[in-house]
Amino acid sequence: MKFIPLGKTGIQLSAVIMGTWQAGKSMWAGIEDDETERAMAAAFDAGITTFDTATVYGDGHSEKIVGKALRQVRQQVVIATKVFAHALAYEKVFKACHKSLRDLDTDYIDLYQIHWPAGSFGSKEVPVEETMRALSELKAQGKIRAVGVSNFSREQIIAAEAFGAVDSYQPPYSLFWRHMEETAIAYCREKGITVLAYSPMAQGILTGKFGKEPKFEKGDHRSKNILFQPEHYDRIQRALAALQPIADRNNLTLGQLALAWVIAGKGTCAIAGARNADQAVQNAKAGTVTLPPEELAEMDRIGRTVTDHLGNDPVMWQW
């Protein structure tokens, strides 16, 4: 497994991070706690040492599962969680952090991230200075070790940096979703802020498993993903067909190829979810791969046959 420094903190992140949105069950279908715990154990055994969650994933349920699954190896792993947009006022940040500490069954959080900027989803506008002041105090108290932001624009990252160190940035980023690449991601790579790419397999599209007509169980939020809509999906199928020979040449699945492409970016980790132990082990393999420059260039060209036709909205879902 490759490891990526978390900003200037000295903390090392596994290049493949296990994402646990699905562990919260809300907005997903067919998720079982026992299987999720087995997947986390398999991920750790396969070399993944970093796990990403959020309080909003099932109102703490994901954090509870993460805490339970990793209790015996807590000192050997990095746990990242997030405070949601409705809890960014000074006192609310402390309250949210303490809840996460309880749910995770730990006395410190390695990376605490602002999940969405204040004002998102109808939340109250809160000056970023107020939120960063609370995060800085939590860091001074030893309750968190590092601070990150998620779903921010370049300008919002710069604004947050004026009031404290920002160690990581978490955007949606994949071969088929590159909205922030030339702005926020480019800025972070220049400044040494680690990029934690979420949905690096475009919520499963880049695995090729959905076939010509994707079908979802009731309650699965992916049905609202822009990439699954008919105006883009046929184009995506052609791109996947073009990517398959590259995967074959490198003895990788399409999903592993997609993760390896993300990790090839400077200072970038890929957050990959897993429903079961086998998926976790398959994801981990991508963290050991180095793709040749010519393969990366070919993938870039293929990916742009999809991304060049997307709109300008950086939010991946039509909620």
| Buried b or exposed e, range 199-224, using 16+ CB within 10 angstroms | bbbbbbbbbbebeeebeeeeeeebee
Return all residues near 78 (Cβ < 8 A) that are at least 6 apart.
Answer: 6, 11, 12, 13, 14, 49, 50, 51, 110, 111
The neighbouring-strand residues paired with 194 are: 168
Burial of 62 (0-12, 13-18, 19+ CB in 10 A): buried
SS (H, E, C) 235-263: HHHHHHHHHHHHHHHCCCCHHHHHHHHHH
| Buried b or exposed e, range 10-27, using 16+ CB within 10 angstroms | ebebbbbbbbbbbbbbeb
What are the φ and ψ backbone dihedral angles of 135, each rounded to 5 degrees? -65, -40
| Cα separation, 71 vs 317, whole angstroms | 34
Tell me how far CA of residue 180 lies from CA of 17, 52, 146, 171, 306, in angstroms: 20, 20, 23, 7, 15
Q: Which amino acid is at 296?
A: L
Tell me how far CA of residue 38 lies from CA of 21, 34, 79, 252, 278, in angstroms: 16, 6, 17, 23, 10
Tell me how far CA of residue 88 lies from CA of 127, 128, 186, in angstroms: 9, 8, 26
Among the listed residues 57, 112, 187, 198, the single catalytic one is 57
Fill in the DSSP letter of residue 268: E
Active-site residue, 173 included: no
Catalytic positions are 57
